[in-house]
Structure 1
Amino acid sequence: MTITQLQYVLAVAEYKNFTLAAEKCFVTQPTLSMQIQKLEEELDIKIFDRNSKPIKLTEVGEQIVHQAKNIINESDRIKDIVDQQKGFIGGNFKLGIIPTITPTLLPMFLTNFINKYPKVNLIIEEYNTEDMMARLRNGLLDAGIAATPLLEPDIKEYTLYYEPFVGYFPDSFRKNKEELTPEDLEINQILLLKDGHCFKNGILNICKNFKTANDKNFEFSSGSFETLIKLSNEGLGVTLLPYLHTLDLNEKNKKNILHFKDPKPSREVSLIFAKSELKLHIIEALRATILGVVKGAITFQDVEIISPKIHKKGIV
């Protein structure tokens, strides 16, 4: 049994196709198939049901894949230990980011980090918070950037910055307001991101005035702040945005911005990773780079941290 064979098994388990798995592993399909067959013969079992389409794991195959993930993750840690001992900042580093942070934060630090640490191969993917934590726990991600606090005992959090929620209120909804308070928010007026976004949870946690009746004749949720802004401009409601997102609005749309009174409801954005993670030298480098670029763009101090986990209040 070899690490390579186990890697091939994981690839087929993920892609459910021998040809695609071989492409992802940069080997020929016959080579990959032969190595998996050798492993099956050694263990005297079948890992995959090849008669099903797509290919499925057998019952024992599911257990083998679970253990193979642990073995490969632990084998990767040997190199991480050596790199950390030598002070070498390089190699693959898998970073997850929640979608409501990616478009504003990533352009701010990515070029700086790549230029400063050219030997790090930064692999970045978007996940919601729940999926991100699952991937951190099983070693499929080295770190993530998410709204916190998450208060998970096996996840460590390095706070990067506090980002206020900002109201987007066209004239028909402003009612001569110059600043917002949570009491000004009516949940039935607010256009929300779709379920799965912790930013939506934050908005629901801010709102004080819940109503059981929906006085709108439509219901809509989106994965895009841009769509919510356009609908708001059409008079269909108001929305809340993260502060950094408002910096790129055009001058016309900026006139619809309303800030909250102090303490401003804000999300805490942190670098998160499993407490068992060994690539701490890269995590520290990433943290320092991000702190270096955000300190000039976002410096709010008088804030109230809003949890990214939904808290039931009234009808919610």
Structure 2
Amino acid sequence: MTITQLQYVLAVAEYRNFTLAAEKSFVTQPTLSMQVQKLEDELDVLIFDRGKKPIAITEVGKKIVAQAQNIVNEAHRIKDVVDQEKGFIGGDFKLGIIPTVMPTLLPMFLKTFINRYPKVNLIIKEQNTESLIRNLQDGHLDAAIAATPLEIEYIRERPLYYEPFVGYVPKNHRLAKAQKINPKDLDINDILLLRDGHCFREGIINLCEVPQNFENANFHLQSGSFETLVNLADEGLGMTLLPFLNTLVLDDEKKKNLRYFENPSPAREVSLIYHKSELKIQITEALKDVISAIVRGAIAFQDVKIISPISKN
């Protein structure tokens, strides 16, 4: 049994196809198939049911795949131990970021980070929270930035900052004359929301304390863009809520429509999350230090109430 064989098993388990697994592993398909077969022969079990399309994992195979992931992670840890001993911060680092954070946060820290740690090859992927969690578990991401708390056993959460919600209230809206707003003032039926799957949407629904499966009576919006929500609000179709950092890029005219909440302001906790195995922890720590230092100066709010990104229902 070798680490390489276990890596090939993990590739087949992920892609459910020997040809694609070989391509992603940068080997020929006969080489990968032969090594997987050798491992099955050595263990005297079938890991994969090749008679099904796509390839299925047998019951014993599922246990082997789970253990193989642990073994491969521990093998990678040896290099981490050496890197940490040498004080080396470098190599590939795959970072996932949720869509409602990526456009505002990434430009704030990326240049500083790559200048400070030029030996790190940062590979950044925009994914929703569900995908981030799955890819952290499968080892396809080293860390991610997401709204928390998630309270998942195998995920560690390190808060980076607390980002208040801010109301965007157009001139003709019923709350336009309010100096500040209160969550009790909100009516979910006139709040423009992001499409399903965005944790910021779920945070707003939790803030308003309404069921997750509610439906707007007038229209159904499928947008993942805060800019679209702001433009629709300007057309008189309702108000919307924005994360604080998104308000910084609005022009001066649109900023006149911003309404802040009374204290404590509803806010989301944004954290750096990673697998409890803590692989490449030295890069994770470096990333946390850079982001925290930069965002601390941009968000001065102190009195906040964290709104969960997870459904209460």
TM interval, short-chain normalised: 0.7 to 0.9
- How is 1:17-96 mapped onto 2 (pairs within 5 angstroms)? 17-96=17-96
Asked whether 1:264 is paired with 2:278, we answer no
CA contact (8 A) 1:81 1:278 kept: no
| Counterpart code for 1:225 | F
In 2, the alpha carbon distance for the partners of 1:189 and 1:161 equals 29
In 2, the alpha carbon distance for the partners of 1:126 and 1:96 equals 6
CA contact (8 A) 2:166 2:243 kept: yes
Task: Give the C-alpha shift of residue 101 in structure 1.
Answer: 0.9
Asked whether 1:177 is paired with 2:178, we answer yes
In 2, the alpha carbon distance for the partners of 1:273 and 1:12 equals 24
TM-score normalised by length of structure 2: 0.87
Figure out how many residues of one structure are paired with residues of the other and give that number: 311
In 2, the alpha carbon distance for the partners of 1:158 and 1:213 equals 32
Task: Give the C-alpha shift of residue 82 in structure 1.
Answer: 1.9
| Counterpart code for 2:263 | D
| Larger mean Cα displacement after TM superposition, 132-141 or 74-83 | 132-141
Taking a change above 3 Å as real, the CA distance of residues 54 and 153 of structure 1, as seen in their structure-2 partners, is closer
Superposition RMSD in Å: 2.7
In 2, the alpha carbon distance for the partners of 1:175 and 1:204 equals 21
| Larger mean Cα displacement after TM superposition, 200-209 or 2-11 | 200-209
CA contact (8 A) 1:231 1:237 kept: yes
Task: Give the C-alpha shift of residue 159 in structure 1.
Answer: 2.4
Task: Give the C-alpha shift of residue 282 in structure 1.
Answer: 1.6
Taking a change above 3 Å as real, the CA distance of residues 10 and 181 of structure 1, as seen in their structure-2 partners, is same
CA contact (8 A) 1:160 1:291 kept: yes
In 2, the alpha carbon distance for the partners of 1:153 and 1:33 equals 34
CA contact (8 A) 1:187 1:207 kept: yes
- Structure 2's unaligned 5+ residue stretches are none
Residue aligning to 1:285: 286
Residue aligning to 1:204: 205
Task: Give the C-alpha shift of residue 3 in structure 1.
Answer: 0.9
Taking a change above 3 Å as real, the CA distance of residues 208 and 175 of structure 1, as seen in their structure-2 partners, is farther
Residue aligning to 2:101: 101
| Larger mean Cα displacement after TM superposition, 279-288 or 100-109 | 279-288
Task: Give the C-alpha shift of residue 135 in structure 1.
Answer: 4.2
| Counterpart code for 1:108 | M
In 2, the alpha carbon distance for the partners of 1:111 and 1:213 equals 41
Residue aligning to 1:162: 162
In 2, the alpha carbon distance for the partners of 1:21 and 1:64 equals 17
In 1, the alpha carbon distance for the partners of 2:4 and 2:257 equals 57
